[in-house]
Structure 1
């Protein structure tokens, strides 16, 4: 497992929660990317890495798809629970 080289950014609220939920379910980034594709969200590995590192903004469509795939609420991803 590679460690993050950059400090967390401030472009989104959900990155750390997405990473934590993904890891708790034992899903690799590549698998999450495949699930996003199935759900109509076109994202590459760099985009997901930047999203989890809070370096990239998140669209509402991506937010909904991530919550559905990771089986968590949008409120959880936004830190409201």
Structure 2
């Protein structure tokens, strides 16, 4: 039986590190969304907010694009 998600469970583990990297780069959420759109990865600002606070899942293609857009290695986003 699948365990039900609770309101305290997280949908991803890298959201806070994405937020920290974005802020360190001096970018707003909108700035990052625009940069991602230029890479043909469409994440609206609201979705990015949910990624950063851990309530939205983020797929591998999005993680890779975010890493490139922020110019940070994937290892940084995964906390390695």
Say whether the fold is shared (TM-score over 0.5). yes
Change (3 A) 1:46 1:76: same
Extract unaligned runs of 5+ from structure 2. 1-7
CA RMSD after TM alignment: 1.6
Matches within 5 A, 1:1-81: 10-80=10-80
Extract unaligned runs of 5+ from structure 1. 1-7
Count of equivalent residues: 74
**Normalised TM-score (structure 1):** 0.84
**Normalised TM-score (structure 2):** 0.85
Of structures 1 and 2, the larger Rg is shown by 2
